[in-house]
Structure 1
Amino acid sequence: MKYEYAPDLQQKMVEIVNSLGMSHIKTDRVRCFRSRGSSTKRTIARCHALGKLMQHAMGTKAFYAIEFLELFEKMSKKDQEKTIIHELLHIPKTFGGGFRQHDFVCEENVELLHKKFENLNQTRSNWFN
């Protein structure tokens, strides 16, 4: 596996967090990476966290990394945005190193937030024209 920091995805993640008012997500403690060489055939992205025990051992606070696999690159811009939203939804309000499970991180919630994101961007776009 090869990992590469993805500044373009980092910027998009920050834009989504700010647009949707996900103020519990500390974007300076979330990093986006592209990965190459995974043997998985269906996984598009994964959210990783520095768990509580490791935080205590290292004397640090929670940190999250979002990994975007090769399939992500083949998706439409819209589906990429939805995937970023999906991964962000796994980060709990406590921002403590845990995860929200798929009973909350579901297609319905992703669709609702993506529609809100699109509407906000459309409104901003119209405002500047």
Structure 2
Amino acid sequence: MPGHTLSLRARLRYERDKTLEEAVRCVARSLGLNYIDPERLYVIRSYGSRSRATARIYMMPSAWRFALNMGPVYLIEFISERFDRLTPMGKAEVIVHELLHIPPAFSGGLRPHGRLVNDGLVRRLTSRVDESCLRLLGGHGEGGSAVT
């Protein structure tokens, strides 16, 4: 739901970020990851997380998809405390890493770390990300264009 903010336990807060969502879509397009359906890929930021992660990807469990009569859906959470400190290239690496977890069948599952999701592949692909995507990620950080 655009413009929706959710707070849990007063210390953890989530919000949609349209600029970051567009940057993620730009990265997917520039790498030719055409199997990723941008209408079924959501992007949120979290604030107040104590996680050591920079980002996480989630998929909608099959039972929920069945109950709600919907196709596969993915959500990428960017932990602002860590993600916002990165350079545009560092942010692109994180985005590429999370996108690689989505299988080409866009089936609702997630690829594990290993042959198809690893640092070497992330670096190679990130070097091919279009400059326009990096510009979207430049100056993007806390207090940026997040929708609240």
RMSD: 1.3
Q: How many angstroms does 1:56 deviate by?
A: 0.8
The number of equivalent residue pairs is 119
Normalised to the residue count of structure 1, the TM-score between the two structures is: 0.87
Higher relative contact order (CA 8 A, sep 6+): 2
Q: Residue 75 of structure 1 is aligned with which of 86, 94, 111? A: 86
Aligned partner of residue 116 in structure 1, secondary structure? coil
Normalised to the residue count of structure 2, the TM-score between the two structures is: 0.77
Q: How many angstroms does 1:113 deviate by?
A: 0.5
Percent identity (aligned): 32
Gapped runs of 5+ residues in structure 1? 123-129
Residue in 2 that maps onto 1:63: 73
Q: What is the 5 A alignment of 1:1-129?
A: 1-40=12-51, 42-69=52-79, 70-103=81-114, 104-117=116-129, 120-121=130-131
Q: How many angstroms does 1:53 deviate by?
A: 1.6
Q: How many angstroms does 1:37 deviate by?
A: 1.5
Preserved CA contact (<8 Å) 1:44 1:72: yes
Q: Which has the higher helix share?
A: 1
Q: Structure 2: how far apart are the matches of 1:78 and 1:94?
A: 27
Q: Structure 2: how far apart are the matches of 1:92 and 1:54?
A: 19
**Which 4+ runs in 1 deviate beyond 4 A?**
none
Gapped runs of 5+ residues in structure 2? 1-11, 133-148
